[in-house]
Amino acid sequence: MDVSFSYLNACLAVLLAWGAIGLAGMIRPRSLGIAARTLFPLGALCGIALAVLAVLSIATPAERAVLPLGLPDLPFHVRRDPLASVFLALLGAASAGISIFSTGYFRKGEGALPGLLCLEYHVFLASMGLVLLADDAYAFMVAWETMALSSYFLVTTQHRIPEIRSAGFLYLLIAHVGAISILLSFGVMQGGSWQFTFDAMRAAHLSPGWATVAFGLAMFGFGAKAGLVPLHVWLPEAHPAAPSPVSALMSGVMLKTAVYGVLRVSFDLLGTPQWWWGLVALGLGLLSAFYGVIFAAVQTDMKRLLAWSSIENVGVIFTGVGLTIVFHGSGMGALAALALIATLYHCLNHAFMKSVLFLGTGSVLHATGERNLGRLGGLIHRMPWVAWLTLIGVLAIAGLPPLNGFVSEWLLLQAFLFAGDVPRTFVNMLLPVGAAVVALCTALAGYVMVKFFGVIFLGQPREAALAGAHDAGLVERLGLLWLALGCVGLGLFPVQVIETLDVVARDLLKLPAGRWGGDWWLLAPAAARHAAYGPLALFGVTLIVVALAGLGVRAVYRRRVRRGPAWDCGFVRLDARMQDTAEGFGQPIRHVFEPFFQMVRELPTPFDFAPRYRVTVGDRLWTLLYLPLGATVRWTADRVARLQQGRIATYLLYSFVTLIALLALVL
Amino acid sequence: MSTLGAITQLLEIVCALLAAPAFLGWVNQCRAWLQNKRAPSVLQPYYGLRKLFHKDVVLAENASSLFRLAPYIVFGTMVAAAAIIPSMGTGLPLSMAADGIALVGLLATARVFLSLAAMDVGTAFGTLGARREMMVGFLAEPALLMVLFVAAMISKTTSLPLIAEGLTTRALGLYPSLAFTAVAFTMVLLAENARIPVDNPATHLELTMIHEAMLLEYSGRHLAMMEWAAALKLFNYACIGFALFIPWGTSTEASGPQGLLLAVPVLFAKLAVAGGGLALIETLSAKLRVFRAPEFLATAFLLAVLGLLVHLLLGD
């Protein structure tokens, strides 16, 4: 391995630095000062460095290296290409904000030792980086498993609470079922060469049947990590269990490694995907998007709500992946590039906006000790910084212009709209229905986010204890600000981002270099005549109108502004319990989409002196799929357990029989 | 950017600002006539605005700055929306920067801010109104998007002026897909603008109202801005309808200043007819229970999707 400068070496150096920072935490594991004041800020600096390196390297050709790590005959191969660079940039930029925030967040040690937390956190970051750089199945799986294990330990930081332990177990279980599937997928892709480098897989020409098997296994494995329905069940359990920066990292960044995996397998390792695989990804994506958003709307725990919202966003991303495969497989290069850019853009957007939201809930959790929406409210007065910065994330994830969520939604809808010429009629008929589902999910995301922000930050405090809530500290604000500025920047300057992503898309889809229409401020996928979006102009005009209206009214208006009790139609004994609750706000969704929910209602009778109303909403898939599956596994395990007698003679007999059988087979 | 384009742009904004309350007044007047009542003047909304601008603002004690900012944001987004809808001319410089999807996004921004402001004081009615507004919105928004999609697929562009131009220059004929979407659009318009059968702008019966419930805590200039924004919203929706379904008479780059001069009276004629039609629908229908509103809107959404499929099947 040569040590001259290359972007690949520099990126590897950053990952190494992360590892070193993690180990440094173990020198004095009980010292909070070292971990919080020195190591996490250093980690954030490494993140920024990685983001800068990755952005600079996007347009450069692929680089590769062989690391002196691994088994004697099986060294780690690494490779950086434009696709890896995009995801490395995402990892670096998002983790920088989260690390800055963590500096202030892990004040009390959160259950585990601060130094240990620091180790797990930075190993998690480094392993995600290695997943993106790995160029053989061995390195990939090692990194993938390290990522799963380190994040498992982070999720179970407060391991003394039984719910958190069981949430962690569920996460670990599904992560490993997924990992096995990915491993099998690599096994299929080596195509008889028994070489597990990605180069060998690129060179192997699989028959369409085997390629489909490999794709299916990869979709299952990566889908489990991404949280595609029906493999989503771990997300709403693990995210509330983990400390907020970890939730942000898992939701914002780790889920994207699964997207990276699917893109890498379908477009790079398998070469040319078959077009109908796209329909599978599209269908699963749309299902996840819809399922995620309606469940998000009925949650009463703020972090669980965000976890379901992540399922929705992953669904939108996979919708984009599916669309890309359909277009690519139908020979429509430009549209495939558009859909892929929309997908990558949404990955970036989600990393920023979901991190803002999770960190915002972290600050709320610290200030109030409360995750239940039913006990929050009115925090905009107590925590103005957190509230306004979270509002940016809320507006972004609701897909409102001029922020970033709208840009990727716009691109995705354009890809759907211009799809008219797919050479298969029934696909042509299906795609607009897909667009309708995406539109519905975006509108529902707005509903969810109004509920999220309104119930936590607006209205009256629902508990007296909330009066003592304090705003986030300076470094926490800085972390939030970094991520919120990311949302604004990605929203206002889409052309610059897309020109970069275009390089990646063309490289991955093996298309000739092309040019987008439009201008530096005007985003236009085809000719500007057909569709264009200029967020700067739109935002500028709106801002000018708002300012003019404000100034104009102020100049003309001669009356006073005074404060008084709320009007509420003349009702005088207003108290906080009369506000809509989180359950109440979700009621229309429960009503409209009733068949999807498993509801248990506890209703008071007219004669109750202390009436109680409770409704719990469960996931039907849990009882329909997971409980029977669990029962089957247990039943099988019981049968298998009969083999174990606990007597040495029996085991010797087993060995004897096995030997005889093997001998019979060989002779 | 041509001079004519800039003039058209300014004229549209000014016209929307000034004419929107009159349009609301006209709808109210027609409705009163149809119901055999003595009608208020067309100018009544202006009197209302003037009155509000001459009153003190009473802010609830726990109202945050979001509450005070929201009226201007809602107003601003509605004006920006008015600027990108080709109501008079299609040579709008600003509509380059925002197409139909961005228009739907802008309207959604206004809705989100309105709902958040309604939740800010923390009264029972405010939060109830916000919840119902979002309930109406989550079905109305995709329905509107689907309506725009049909028009966009017919003219192969999402830019509203180009859609309007494309539909003007086509041979006059009945497009089944547009017929479906026109029905869907009318339903969305009724729901989004708090008209019967989804909401009743004339009552203050707390348990059934949506839009008014959200504005209960507003007073003085803030209420005036909100009322004005609501009038602008109705005006905007009417103009979207004109651009998609009856775009004839709008001026184009080619038709020059004369075209623009002609476009103004044409727009007012369309508004007069549309206002009458709206009043007629409102008079003939009864208000639905709030729980039935999602069904109403789901019908609109499905009709719009059906329009899309019809377009794809027939290829018109």
**What's the mean pLDDT when you consider all of chain A?**
91
Three-class secondary structure of residue A517 per DSSP: strand
Predicted local distance difference test score (pLDDT) of residue A155: 93
* CA closest to B222 among chain A residues: A553
Instruction: Enumerate the residues of chain B whose CB falls inside 8 A of the CB of residue A381.
Output: 62, 64
B-chain residue closest to A590, CA distance? B135
H helix and E strand count, chain A: 26, 7
In this structure, what are the phi and psi dihedrals at residue A293, rounded to the nearest 5 degrees? Answer: -75, -35
Residues of A in contact with B122 (CB under 8 A): 377-378, 458-460, 566, 576, 579
Pairing of strands A517-518, A523-524: antiparallel
Are the Cβ atoms of B142 and A443 closer than 8 angstroms? yes
Instruction: Find out whether A460 and B62 touch, Cβ atoms under 8 Å.
Output: yes
CA distance B58 to A560: 9
**Is there a contact between B112 and A450 if contact means CB atoms under 8 Å apart?**
yes
Q: Which residues on chain A are in Cβ contact (under 8 Å) with B138?
A: 440, 443-444, 446-447
Q: Report the run of H or E that residue A617 belongs to, with start and end.
A: strand A614-619
d(CA A317, CA A256): 9
Burial grade of A609 (CB within 10 A; 0-12, 13-18, 19 or more): exposed
* Among the partner residues B76, B120, B308, nearest to A459 by beta-carbon distance: B120
State pLDDT tens for residues A264-288: 999 999 988 899 999 999 999 999 9
Nearest CA in chain A to B144: A439
Whole-number pLDDT of residue A604: 85
Q: Contact B116/A381, CB-based, under 8 Å?
A: no
Q: How many pairs of residues across A and B have Cβ atoms under 8 Å apart? A: 271
* Inter-CA distances, B205 with A552, B124, B125, Å: 34, 14, 11
CA distance B34 to chain A (A): 31
CB atoms within 10 A of CB A389: 27
Q: Which residues of B touch A460 (CB under 8 A)?
A: 62, 122
Residue of A nearest to B308 (CA): A432
**Residues of chain B neighbouring A379 (CB-CB closer than 8 A):** none
Q: Residue A197 is encoded by which pair of tokens?
A: 């480098």
| Minimal Cβ distance to B115: which of A381, A450, A459 | A450
Neighbours of B47 (CB within 10 A): 13
Amino acid at residue number A523: L
Q: Do B116 and A458 touch (CB under 8 A)?
A: yes
Which segment of A71-75, A165-169, A405-409, B31-35 scores lowest on mean pLDDT?
Answer: A71-75
Q: Give Dmax (Cα) for chain A.
A: 105
- The pTM of the full predicted model, rounded to 2 decimals, is 0.95
Q: Which residues of B touch A565 (CB under 8 A)?
A: 60-61
Over residues A470-477, mean pLDDT: 90
CA dist A315 and A293 (Å) reads 10
At B174, the amino acid letter reads: L
Structure confidence at residue B66 (pLDDT):
95
* Chain A residues near residue B153 by CB distance under 8 angstroms: 417, 420, 432
- pLDDT at residue A498 is higher than 70: yes
Taking an 8 Å cut-off on Cβ atoms, the answer to whether B153 and A417 are in contact is: yes
- In whole angstroms, give the CA distance from residue A358 to residue B67: 25
Contact yes or no for A580 and B128 at CB 8 A: yes
Write down the pLDDT at residue A354: 96
* A2 pLDDT more than 70: no
Strand pairing report for B57-60 and A561-564? parallel
Which residue in B53, B59, B153 is closest to A420 by CB distance?
B153
On the CB side of B195, CA atoms within 13 Å amount to 27
- CA dihedral A24→A27→A30→A31, nearest 10 degrees, is -60
Percent of chain A clearing pLDDT 70 (strictly above): 97
Kindly determine whether residue B53 and residue A565, on different chains, have CB atoms separated by under 8 Å: no
Helix (H) or strand (E) holding A598: strand A597-602
Question: What integer pLDDT is reported at residue A295 of this predicted model?
Answer: 96
First to last CA, chain B: 33
Query: pLDDT tens-digit profile of A284-326?
Result: 999 999 999 999 999 999 999 999 999 999 999 999 999 999 9
Of A522, A542, A562, the CB nearest to B58: A562
A608: distance to nearest CA of chain B, Å? 24
Would the CB atoms of A566 and B141 count as touching at under 8 Å?
no
Confidence of residue A361 (pLDDT cuts 50, 70, 90): very high
Distance in Å, alpha carbon of B109 to nearest chain A alpha carbon: 6
pLDDT at A109: 53
Statement: residue A573 has pLDDT above 70: yes
Quickly list DSSP for A564-579.
Answer: E---GGG-----GGGS
Angle between helices A474-492 and A384-397 (to 10 degrees): 30
Contacts of B60 in chain A (CB under 8 A): 563-567
* Cβ atoms of residues A244 and A359 within 8 Å: yes
Confidence band, pLDDT 50/70/90 cuts, at residue A570: confident
AA letter at A296: A
A121 CB neighbour count, 10 Å cutoff: 32
- Dihedral pair phi/psi, residue B59, rounded to 5°: -95, 140
Are A100 and A478 in contact by the 8 Å Cβ rule? The answer is yes
Q: Give the pLDDT confidence of A364-396 residue by residue, as tens digits.
A: 998 998 899 989 999 999 999 999 999 999 999
pLDDT score of A577 more than 90: no
Task: Mark A598-608 as b/e (b = at least 16 C-beta within 10 Å).
Answer: eeeeeeeeeee
Domain range for B34 is: 3-314
Model confidence at A46, in pLDDT bands (50, 70, 90)?
very high
Q: Amino acid letter at B280? A: L
Q: Is A68 helix (H, G, I), strand (E, B) or coil?
A: strand
> In the block, which residue shows the tokens 């009458």?
B276
DSSP code string of A464-475: GGGGG-----HH
End-to-end CA distance of chain A: 48
DSSP state of A134: B
Task: Inspect the interface and report whether the beta carbons of A537 and B94 lie closer than 8 Å.
Answer: yes
User: Would you state the pLDDT for residue B4?
Assistant: 86
Helices (H), A26-113: 32-33, 40-57, 82-105
Q: How many other C-beta atoms can be found within 10 angstroms of the C-beta atom of residue A417?
A: 23
Q: What's the CA gap between A161 and A155, in Å, rounded? A: 12
What is each CA distance from A360 to A247, A298, A363, B70, B141, in whole angstroms?
A: 11, 20, 5, 22, 28
Contact check, Cβ <8 Å, B141/A446: yes
Q: How many domains does chain B have?
A: 1
Q: Kindly list the residues from chain A whose CB atom is less than 8 angstroms away from the CB atom of residue B73.
A: 546
Distance from CA of A427 to the nearest CA of B (A): 11
Do residue B61 and residue A449 have CB atoms under 8 angstroms apart?
Answer: no
Q: Do A559 and B57 touch (CB under 8 A)?
A: yes
Could you tell me if B130 and B113 are in contact, meaning their C-beta atoms sit under 8 angstroms apart?
A: no
| Nearest chain A alpha carbon to B63 | A459
Distance, in angstroms, between B55 CA and closest chain A CA?
A: 6
Name residue A137's amino acid.
A
In SS3 terms, A324-390 reads as HHHHHHCCCHHHHHHHHHHHHHHHHHHHHHHHHHHHHHHHHHHHHCCCEHHHCCCHHHHCHHHHHHH
Which of A44-48, A354-358, A567-571 shows the lowest per-residue confidence on average (mean pLDDT)?
A567-571
Taking an 8 Å cut-off on Cβ atoms, the answer to whether B108 and A568 are in contact is no
Q: What is the pLDDT of residues A140-180, one digit of tens each?
A: 999 999 999 999 999 998 888 899 999 999 999 999 999 99
The average pLDDT across A339-358 equals 96
* Interatomic CA distance for residues B228 and A280, integer angstroms: 48
Question: What is the pLDDT tens value at each position of chain B, 316 positions in all?
Answer: 578 888 989 999 999 999 999 999 999 999 999 999 999 999 999 999 999 999 999 999 999 999 999 999 999 999 999 999 998 888 888 888 889 999 999 999 999 999 999 999 988 889 999 999 999 999 999 999 999 999 888 888 888 988 888 887 776 667 888 899 999 999 999 999 988 888 887 776 666 688 888 998 999 999 999 999 999 999 999 999 999 998 888 888 777 788 888 899 999 999 999 999 999 999 999 888 888 899 999 999 999 999 988 888 887 5
Residue B120's pLDDT is 94
CA distance B74 to B72: 5
Give A147-211 as a 3 state SS string: HHHHHHHHHHHHCCCHHHHHHHHHHHHHHHHHHHHHHHHHHHHCCCCCCCEHHHHHHCCCCHHHH
Mean pLDDT of all residues in A48-61: 94
Least confident of A110-114, A552-556, B160-164: A110-114
CB A475 within 8 A of CB A103: yes
Q: What is the pLDDT of residues A92-106, one digit of tens each?
A: 999 999 999 998 887
Tell me the shortest Cα–Cα distance from B164 to chain A, in angstroms.
13
